[in-house]
Structure 1
Amino acid sequence: MFGFIRQSLALSGANLRSLPRRAWISLSMVLSVTLVVLVLLGFLAMANGFRKTLSSTGSADVAMVLSRGAFSEALSRIGTQQAHLIEEAPGIARTAEGAPLISRELVVPVDAVAQDSGKNETLSLRGVTATGLALRPKLAISAGRMMTPGTDEIVVGARLAAKYNDLNLGDTISFGRSQWKVVGHFTAGGSVFESELLADAGLVQAQFNRPNQIQSLRVRLEDPAAFAQFSAYVEDLDLGLLAQTEQAFYAAQASDISRIILFLGWPLAIVMAIGAAVGAMTTMYSSVSDRMVEIATVRALGFSRSAAFVATLVEALALTLIGCAIGVALAWIGLDGWSASTKSGANAQLAFQLALSWPQALSAVVLALGIGAIGGGLPALRATRVPLRAAMTGRA
């Protein structure tokens, strides 16, 4: 047993020391693994970034009411009479005067010109009430001031202000036939709200010809435990509405979007990994052929077949781990925290940041080791079958 270990270590060391002699072909294997790792981590970082952005949105003591079956606010419709009935629900927090802390809201798609491409992209303009602003405790003005209710003023998520034209403080931007003045930028704790423009709900209804249209109701509950009572009341009304906590609504969206991204990302990474494994196999076959005389000679000196197998496999795994380390390092430097955006369920831009984690890096390492094991396995087996006559002839 100890003899096998000593032989394996000696042959592995010799193989690794001879890598500079096969630098270019070894580099091709390293680069192919690096590319696979980068692609995989790119998708994982995107899914994780989405999940963090959406999961950080919402509170357990704020309930959302939407049409039953609506997967997003854009697909929901709530009538004025329905809204009045919801205001009478038990469990709703109220002001000292007895007014319910409830916000009638709607989201309309608007176009803005992206600074990098010069093309129109769709953003979400949310109509909110003063109560709606109070129901977002993480929302804070980072520049300028809050809009004045009843006026054509808007406040813009800081992430959007940096990416689109005419969204700086003091700018006036046209949405359809209406003009809106940007009076403030805001942050919202990294939540999805930072991807929106906020304006007075009544004015949004009037300017976009949507009189009395409501898409969602946001309700402050007396405490999180009051949600069960509130939800039961909404169900008993039998109005085709569904209540859920704001936290649960965005967590479900995060799960759905992340699942879609991973559904696309993993198959692509696996296909690329298969290609990288084939490339690794070609590299290792070339390595074995290049050292055929050496392998046969050490075999003639008493080194076992198993030691030759292990040494060749170690070489393949070493090259894949180098490629994996480079890929992880590049992904962490270039992707982690990188700002990106994509279309949400309402076909509007949703800004988020890519986020990497150590479990994701571990997934990349496992995939890389799979590439090395597959790509080095058959060539390593080939190394155990090199006949002694190759030491004299240089041929298999």
Structure 2
Amino acid sequence: MKAIPLSYIARNLWVRRVTTLLTAGGMALVVYVFATVLMMSEGIRATLVATGQPDNVMVLRKGAGAEINSGITRDQAAIIESLPGIALSAEGRPLVSKEPVVLNNLPKSGSGKPSNVTVRGTSEIGLQLRPQVRLVEGRMFRPGTSEIITGSAVAKGFQGAKLGDSLRFAGRDWVVVGVFDAGRTGFDSEIWGDANQMMQAFRRQAFSSVVFRLGRVDAFDGIKATLDADPRLTVEPKREQRFYADQSEALANFISILGTALSVIFSIGAIVGAMITMFAAVASRIGEIGTLRALGFRRGAVLIAFLGESLLLSLVGGLIGLGLAALMQSVDISTTNFQTFSELAFQFKLTPGIVVQTLAFALFMGLLGGFVPAWRAARLKIVDCLRAA
């Protein structure tokens, strides 16, 4: 079957460039929404997964889905700290951090509206366990004092959280002596202070979690078996990366499902627009269709040509929408993490997989919008076309 040249297809879109751009613009908006939703979900997952280290283990109370509803007694924490297989510091101390985690309400910088911020009690060892965290302003808090350091997202997004400011919570005034950058991970959205002082201030009798580094990455299964077999413990160890990956699932899936549903609804309008455009193209080119048929081009070639126009139109819209969505990578955004009910700052993240999914979605809209007009064009009879011309 002789095929109609691609240049003919592209030329017809250019001749109707105003209509083409308007239709492509409608598709671009739908593609933009679709792509940004996927980028948002991927950004949340990337932020939380990157929070964990592959050789770190987080221990929580069995059945606890998050640190804020977990509890590990001091006796249990001491047993965990004495486990064989835990890495040692240069001073020969076990790399174990026993941490209380609570939520505190702070007003946002722009609106003044209150939002939950995660407050973590930790130590110098806790900082060693998170190599992605580095101080960018000020200094580390001193043990035994009411000093705190704030994540970069907290320092930017909340009132009274900058270097030198003072925050009042848990019946005390806490002085911000440092600001840290956690490499766009979940720790950027936290406030850190001395673990013992946090326990006293919040009147906590138990730690929220115990974090330690494995001496060998493959030692996890042995340590997990030891903890599960100890009748004194009711705890559940998880690799830190796995823990934070689980934390991202509920929120990322919710955004993905809601955004995809909205995109599908919006796409109906874009498909109808493409269909109207292609029907108009068929109506205005009946004479051309008759000429093509008279020159020996079969129905299938006409069908493919008009369907190709619709797909090319949708590809243009898809590329425009994808380009607009890519600009969102420079935007910082925050939302509430469903697992912890605290503020989480993250960035949109565009991946090759999202590019493929987005362009496939755009072409699918073009296929649905163009098939019926293309089918009608292919079914026109030569005599009727030439008579109408």
Check whether the contact 2:286–2:388 (CA below 8 A) recurs between aligned residues: no
Conservation of the 8 A alpha-carbon contact between 2:144 and 2:194 = yes
Match status 1:215 vs 2:208: yes
Q: Secondary structure at the match of 1:384?
A: helix
Amino acid at match of 2:197: L
Q: Distance in 1 between matches of 2:21 and 2:90?
A: 72
Contact kept? 1:15, 1:311, Cα under 8 Å: no
Deviation at 1:196, TM superposition (A): 0.6
CA distance in 2, matches of 1:130, 1:337: 33
Q: 2:12 aligns with which of 2, 11, 15?
A: 15
Q: Report sequence identity in percent.
A: 38
2-structure distance, mates of 1:10, 1:183: 66
Aligned residue for 2:144?
150
Matched, 1:104 2:98: yes
* 1:10-51: CA deviation from partner (whole Å, max 9, x where unpaired): 75255234313xx24x33321221012111111111122122
Asked if residue 228 in structure 1 is aligned to residue 221 in structure 2, the reply is yes
Matched with 1:120 is: 114
Q: Deviations over 1:323-365 (max 9, x none)?
A: 11111111112x1242111112211011111110122111111
The answer to whether the 8 A contact 2:47-2:184 is kept is yes
Aligned partner letter, 1:372:
G
Shift in Å, 1:244: 1.8
Q: How far off its partner does 1:214 sit?
A: 0.9
Q: Which amino acid aligns with 2:219?
A: A
Q: CA deviation at 1:301?
A: 5.4
Partner of 2:126: 132
- The one-letter code matched in structure 1 to 2:304 is V
Q: Which residue of 1 aligns with 2:317?
A: 323
> TM-score under structure 2 normalisation?
0.91
Letter in 2 for 1:83: A
Q: Give the C-alpha shift of residue 183 in structure 1.
A: 0.9
Q: Is residue 2:179 matched to residue 1:185?
A: yes
CA gap of 1:166–1:302, structure 2 versus 1, over 3 A, is same
- Aligned partner of 1:252 in structure 2 is 246
Q: How many residues align?
A: 386
Contact kept in structure 1, 2:87 and 2:215, CA below 8 Å: yes
CA distance change for structure 1 residues 302 and 58 in 2, over 3 Å: closer, same or farther? Answer: closer
Runs (5+) with no aligned partner, structure 2: none
The correspondence for 1:336, drawn from 326, 329, 338, is 329
* Cα shift at 1:247: 2.3
Q: Which residue of 2 aligns with 1:204?
A: 198
Q: Secondary structure at the match of 2:100?
A: strand
Gap change, CA 1:307 and 1:149, over 3 Å in 2: same
Read off the aligned partner of 1:336 and give its amino acid letter: Q
- CA–CA distance in structure 1, aligned partners of residues 309 and 329 of structure 2: 31
Which piece of structure 1 moves more, 43-52 or 266-275? 266-275
Deviations along 1:368-387, one digit per CA (max 9) or x if unpaired, are: 11111111111011112334
Q: SS where residue 40 of structure 2 aligns? A: helix
Separation in 1 of the partners of 2:91 and 2:9?
A: 80
Q: Distance in 1 between matches of 2:42 and 2:371?
A: 34
Q: C-alpha separation between the residues in 2 aligned to 1:295 and 1:193?
A: 63
Aligned amino acid, residue 73 of structure 1: E
In structure 1, how many angstroms separate the alpha carbons of the residues matched to 2:7 and 2:88? 78
Q: How has the CA–CA distance of structure 1 residues 149 and 282 changed in structure 2, closer, same or farther, with 3 Å as cutoff?
A: same
Q: Note closer, same or farther for the CA distance 1:11–1:59 as it changes in structure 2 (3 Å cut).
A: closer
Note if contact 1:8-1:307 (Cα within 8 Å) is conserved in structure 2.
no
The answer to whether the aligner puts 1:174 opposite 2:168 as a matched pair is yes
Alignment of 1:287-366 (within 5 A): 287-300=281-294, 302-333=296-327, 335-344=328-337, 345-366=339-360
Secondary structure of the 2:379 match is: coil
| Gap change, CA 1:137 and 1:393, over 3 Å in 2 | closer
User: Aligned partners of 2:7, 2:210: CA distance in 1, in Å?
Assistant: 71
Is 1:12–1:310's contact at 8 Å kept on the other side of the alignment?
no
Does the 8 A contact of 1:47 with 1:258 survive in 2? yes
CA contact (8 A) 2:27 2:314 kept: yes
- Give the counterpart letter for 2:222 in structure 1: Q
Per-residue CA distance 1:59-97 (angstroms, 9 max, x = gap): 233221101121111121112222222222221234577
Check the 8 A contact 1:45/1:355 in 2, yes or no: yes
- Alignment TM-score, normalising by the size of structure 1: 0.90
Where 2:130 maps in the other structure, the secondary structure is: coil
Distance 1:308 1:145, change over 3 A: same
